[in-house]
Structure 1
Amino acid sequence: MSTTRLLLLGVVRIFQPAYGYQLRRELLTWNVQQWANINPGSIYTGLRTLAKHGFLEELAEGKGYKPGRTSYKLTADGETEYFTLLRQALWTVDGFQPGQMQAALSFLWSLKRDEVVAALESRIVQLEQHEKAAPFHERQIEQDPGTPDHVVEMFRIADARNRGELDWTRSFRTRVLAGEYSFAGETPDWIPGPEAAEQWRNLPEPPD
C-alpha cells in the first residue's frame, strides 16, 4: 500500500491540479500495473482514499466522483507524507518488495544529490549484510523438519535479487557521484519536448 500511496502522491505532485483520468493515464504509461501490482481501476479509489485522509484536496466539478470530473492537488499533509514515503522507500531494503525502489526511482529528482548518495550508501551496507546472512537463513530452513524443502527457494530468489541490486546500487552510486542526472536545486538534465505536459517543465522543489 505504501508503494501505491507514494506513486499516487508523486504523480499528483507533478501534475496538480490534475483530473483522476489524467493521473491514471500517466501512471499506466509507467507500466505500474506490472511492477507495482496496481490495478488500473483502483487508481480512482486510491485517490479518493488519500483525499479522505487529508493528503489530497479534491476540486470537484460536477456531482459525485465521476472519473475525469474531479481534480486533485496535495495538501500540506500530503506533501509531508510524500517525502516520508519517498525516503522510506529509498532508505529501506526489502527483497520481497522490489517495487518500492522502483517507485523511489520515479521521484529521486525530488531530493538533493547528497541525500541520494547517502541513501545509496546505506542500501549498499544493508544489501551486503543480507548477503552475509543468506547462507545461515538457508541452513535454518534446511534443518527445520517442519518446513517444506521448497521454501528455501523463496529465500534464494530474494537473495538473488539482492545480489543483483547490490551490483546495480554500487554502479548507480558511482554515476550519481560523477554528476549524472539532476536532483533538487540543480539545473535539469532533461527538458521535456513541447508535446509533454507543462508541469514536467516546472517540477516542484523540495521543502527547505
Structure 2
Amino acid sequence: MSAVRLLVLGVLRLRQPAHGYAVRKELLSWRAETWTNVKPGSIYHALRQLTQEGKLSASDPQESDRGSGRTLFELTPAGEAEFHRLMDAALISVDMEELGAGIAFMDALPRPYVIEKLREQRRRSEDTRDSLLAMIPNFPGRYEAPHATDLLELWSGVFENLSRWTEGVLSRLEAGEYRMPD
C-alpha cells in the first residue's frame, strides 16, 4: 500500500476539485514530509497514476496569465472505493507511514468501524511484539552475536509502544473524542 496514494486521495476527497499544487500545499501544511516519504514528485506521480487508473478525473488545464495552466482533479467512484480500500489497509497496518496516513483521515469513517480496525491493528502490534520476544531464546548470546538480541529487543519495544499508543487513541475514540461522520 502506498501512503502517498492514500494521502493524495484523502486530500482530494476533502478539497476537490483541486490541482496538484493545492494537494502539495495541503500536505506541506501538515508537515507530512516529516512522517512519510511524500515528496513533490511522488504527489504528482500519484496524481498521474490515479488518473490513468480511472480513480481521478482530470480537467483540461485552465489557462492562466501566471504560467502554465493547472489541471483540476476530482475523485471518481473508483477513487472513492480506492480511498476506502487503502484506509482499511492503513488502519490495521503496523507500518508507521501507512498507519499515519490512515490516522490522518480516520475521521472520514464511522467511529465503530475505526475502533474495530484499530483494535485489529493493536492485536497485530502485540502479536508482532510477542513473536519477536519469543525469538530471543533461540538466538546466540549477547557475546556471540550481540546485535541480534539487541535488535529483537529494539523492535519488540517499538511494537510495544505502538500497541500502547493505539490503546490511547482507542480510549479517546470510545470516549467520543474526534468528530466523525456518524
Which range, TM-score by smaller chain?
A: 0.7 to 0.9
Q: Is the counterpart of residue 174 in structure 1 residue 171 in structure 2?
A: yes
Whether the aligned pair in 2 keeps the contact of 1:21 and 1:68 (CA below 8 Å) is: no
Q: For residues 152 and 53 of structure 1, what CA distance do their matches in structure 2 show?
A: 45
1:6 paired residue number: 6
Q: For residues 54 and 38 of structure 1, what CA distance do their matches in structure 2 show?
A: 22
Q: CA deviation at 1:42?
A: 2.5
Q: For residues 46 and 67 of structure 1, what CA distance do their matches in structure 2 show?
A: 20
Whether the aligned pair in 1 keeps the contact of 2:58 and 2:73 (CA below 8 Å) is: yes
Whether the aligned pair in 1 keeps the contact of 2:61 and 2:69 (CA below 8 Å) is: no
Give the aligned residue type for 1:27: L
The residue correspondences of 1:81-96 to structure 2 (distance < 5 A) are 81-92=82-93, 94=94
Tell me the TM-score normalised to structure 2 length. 0.86
The residue correspondences of 1:22-41 to structure 2 (distance < 5 A) are 22-41=22-41
Identical-residue share of aligned pairs (%): 32
The residue correspondences of 1:98-117 to structure 2 (distance < 5 A) are 98-117=96-115
Instruction: State the secondary structure of the residue aligned to 1:182.
Output: coil
Q: For residues 21 and 42 of structure 2, what CA distance do their matches in structure 1 show?
A: 12
2:154 paired residue number: 157
Aligned CA distance change for structure 1 residues 155 and 81 (closer, same or farther; 3 Å) = farther
Whether the aligned pair in 2 keeps the contact of 1:20 and 1:71 (CA below 8 Å) is: yes
| Alignment deviations for residues 120-175 of structure 1 (CA, whole Å, 9 cap, x no partner) | 222222222222222223344548xxxx7535554443322211111111122111
CA RMSD of aligned residues (A): 2.4
* Structure number with higher helix proportion: 2
Q: For residues 11 and 117 of structure 2, what CA distance do their matches in structure 1 show?
A: 22
Q: For residues 60 and 160 of structure 2, what CA distance do their matches in structure 1 show?
A: 47
What 5-or-longer segments of structure 1 have no aligned partner? Answer: 186-208
Tell me the TM-score normalised to structure 1 length. 0.76
Q: For residues 68 and 90 of structure 1, what CA distance do their matches in structure 2 show?
A: 36
Whether the aligned pair in 2 keeps the contact of 1:21 and 1:67 (CA below 8 Å) is: no
What 5-or-longer segments of structure 2 have no aligned partner? Answer: none
Instruction: State the secondary structure of the residue aligned to 2:59.
Output: strand
The residue correspondences of 1:19-58 to structure 2 (distance < 5 A) are 19-58=19-58
Number of equivalenced pairs? 177
